Amino acid sequence: MASVEQVPAAAKNGTNPGIPVENPATGETIATIPTLSTAEVKALVGRARAAQPAWEAIGFEERGKVLRRAQKWVTDNSERIIATIVSETGKTYEDAQLAEIMYAAAAFGFWAKEAPNLLADEPVKSANPLVKGKKLVVRYRPVGVVGVIGPWNFPLTNSFGDCIPALAAGNSVILKPSEVTPLTSLLMAEGLRASGLPEDVFQVATGDGATGAALIDEVDFVMFTGSTKTGKKVMERAAKTLTPVGLELGGKDPMIVLSDADVERAANAAAYYSMNNGGQVCISIERVYVEAPVYDQFVARVTEKVGKLRQGRSSGPGSVDVGAVTFPPQLDIIDSHVRDAVAKGARVLTGGRVADGPGMFYEPTVLVDVDHTMSCMTEETFGPTLPIMKVADADEALRLANDSPYGLQASVWSKDLRRGEALARRVEAGTVCVNDAQVNYTALELPMGGWKTSGLGTRHGAGGIRKYTQQQTLLVTRFAGKRDPHMFPYKKRTTQLLGKLTRLLYGRGKRD
Ligand code: NDP
């Protein structure tokens, strides 16, 4: 397991008292990490800036070698990484293996392979006669130093994961992990060192929100993943230095089950994609709308499945299905959503309360008779709860699905693929799955990003790496005379000729 010994030297010199890191499944303190001050963050960024030009200069191939070695390091050290993730998040072995180890291992290889393609110079052809014969090129240059600020729910995938394309593009990176789960990031710093990453190209700034805020002031791009509330603060802070930001924020993903759905598959998916990682997934199914004809059957199947889930501290593969609530205040939010629903007339079909200790657990919960006056249907719960609402038809489901400030993901379930896809296209969300959920995240070729208050920009796909670069346009004139016709001095005849040319080129369109 990672320990305070893995804290970088700069962090050890921190002047602030340390932050205890707890195992949420047991309540034990497993490490203490320092809070970096503003001056210490500045020093970290100074070193990152000094190291970056050489990292950029070695090119894609050499950087790719380091990333491929890191990929191997992740698979060679997977048990150690899983143990660290499980100890600081309280999640299950499987949640750490499937959604974190597999993701990181794939991501190192993907960005090593794709960075040279996605960031290659792009020759451009223009129809404009003024630039005929000239060389036109768009190129992507790393921004310099990228600050990544991450959440606690996936310390490897969502916190560290965004560092990989930033590094592949040729940037130095400073990662500010959540104070709740910093150990995985520190372990990854060790992994990158062991893989031959040059000193100071990747550093971890441990600390709280103030450390994150200090980082924003110093870097050239901020990649933030976390709540919408903090995301707004990040954007506001970055505006002071006009620093660009990428924001991956909260969600309230709706699931729409149509009457012609495969109810058994939909029920299995609802149980899994609402409860995996203890429901602490930005793209968890957070609310369900079911067409009346299959509502009873769907509710019965989901309740049976959720009721059978084994919850507790993970002691290895296959030991439990649902892990702990990682962040202490989250337990109160989850419970308040359930209490609010019950007070307004909802029924709890299974679960519905904080589980007995030790550790922080909320029982996997199914709620029915819910509506949009209840916070469980409108606010991000981020826990193992599933509210299910009966709707008259697909139009009502769509209206309710879109009745949200969030727009991260959604899913539509129907055996009629044409109908399912047509409905999916009307949902206001960055990603919509038909007869599936969440697995889109594993396809790194697919852009992933939220609409509305769920975010700004995308991760994965071309946008997932180009955001860490500055686009530069190059125009090179190879063959030319001493003076082009449009240059000074202006002459009546040339001006008239240019006017004729404009009419010839653009004035022949049909008029209605
Ligand atoms: P928070 O917004 O609370 O924190 C995210 C990060 O920001 C943490 O490292 C936090 O530090 C830091 N931070 C806090 N205040 C500031 C500040 N003023 N300036 C800069 N940084 C700051 O999110 P959570 O950690 O609670 O994560 C859960 C949220 O993340 C959920 O809303 C979830 O939906 C979202 N999420 C979104 C994803 C997506 O892809 N769209 C993926 C995963 C999660 P500290 O923890 O030390 O306070």
- Tell me which residues of the chain have a pLDDT lower than 50: 1-14
* Residues in a beta bridge with 141: 470
- Point out the ligand 1 atom lying closest to the alpha carbon of residue 231: 2
**CB neighbours of 271 closer than 8 A, spacing ≥ 6?**
302, 305, 306, 309, 386
Q: Which is it for strands 145-149 and 172-176: parallel, antiparallel or unpaired? A: parallel
Are 353 and 334 in contact, with CB atoms under 8 Å apart? no
H or E segment to which residue 386 belongs = strand 385-391
Q: Is 380 in the pocket of ligand 1 (CB under 6 A)?
A: yes
Domains of the chain: 4-249+461-470 (3.40.605.10), 253-444 (3.40.309.10)
The pTM assigned to this predicted structure is 0.95
- Residue whose CA is closest, atom 21 of ligand 1? 212
How confident is the model at residue 169, as a pLDDT?
99
H or E segment to which residue 65 belongs = helix 59-76
Q: Is 212 in the pocket of ligand 1 (CB under 6 A)?
A: yes
CA 187–ligand 1 middle distance (angstroms):
20
Which of 455, 465, 432, 385 is CA-nearest to residue 64?
465
Give the span between the Cα atoms of 190 and 202, in whole angstroms: 10
SS (HEC) of 267-292: HHHHHHHHHHHHHCCCCCEEEEEEEH
CA 111–ligand 1 middle distance (angstroms):
24
Give the span between the Cα atoms of 286 and 374, in whole angstroms: 13
Catalytic residues, which ones? 248, 282
CA 419–ligand 1 middle distance (angstroms):
37
Question: Residue holding tokens 């599933």?
Answer: 386
CA 228–ligand 1 middle distance (angstroms):
8
User: In this structure, which long-range contacts are made by residues 125-134, counting pairs with CB atoms below 8 Å and at least 24 apart in sequence?
Assistant: 129/501, 129/505, 130/486, 131/475, 133/478, 133/479, 134/475, 134/476, 134/477, 134/478
Q: Which is it for strands 451-452 and 406-407: parallel, antiparallel or unpaired? A: antiparallel
- Residue whose CA is closest, atom 13 of ligand 1? 209
Give the span between the Cα atoms of 177 and 186, in whole angstroms: 9
Which of 284, 264, 396 is CA-nearest to residue 330?
284
Are 10 and 33 in contact, with CB atoms under 8 Å apart? no
Give the span between the Cα atoms of 338 and 257, in whole angstroms: 22
∠ at Cα 247 (228, 444), nearest 5°?
125
CA 119–ligand 1 middle distance (angstroms):
29
How confident is the model at residue 14, as a pLDDT?
47
The preferred substitution site among 38, 91, 178 for testing ligand 1, maximizing ligand atoms within 8 Å of CB, is 178
- Residue whose CA is closest, atom 43 of ligand 1? 282
How confident is the model at residue 8, as a pLDDT?
40
CA 327–ligand 1 middle distance (angstroms):
11
- Point out the ligand 1 atom lying closest to the alpha carbon of residue 448: 40
Q: Is 274 in the pocket of ligand 1 (CB under 6 A)?
A: no
Q: Is 396 in the pocket of ligand 1 (CB under 6 A)?
A: no
- Residue whose CA is closest, atom 30 of ligand 1? 226
- Residue whose CA is closest, atom 35 of ligand 1? 226
- Is there a cis peptide before residue 489, judged by omega within 30 degrees of 0? yes
Task: Look up residue 339 and give its two tokens.
Answer: 């209490």
Tell me the three state secondary structure of residue 145: strand
Q: Which is it for strands 19-22 and 406-407: parallel, antiparallel or unpaired? A: unpaired
Helical segments of 77-130, H only: 78-89, 93-96, 102-118
Q: Is the dihedral of CA 128, 131, 135, 136 positive or negative?
A: negative
The preferred substitution site among 160, 179, 222, 227 for testing ligand 1, maximizing ligand atoms within 8 Å of CB, is 227
Position 166: which residue type? A
- Point out the ligand 1 atom lying closest to the alpha carbon of residue 154: 43
Task: Look up residue 184 and give its two tokens.
Answer: 């995985």
How confident is the model at residue 512, as a pLDDT?
66
Are 147 and 223 in contact, with CB atoms under 8 Å apart? yes
Helical segments of 383-425, H only: 394-402, 417-424
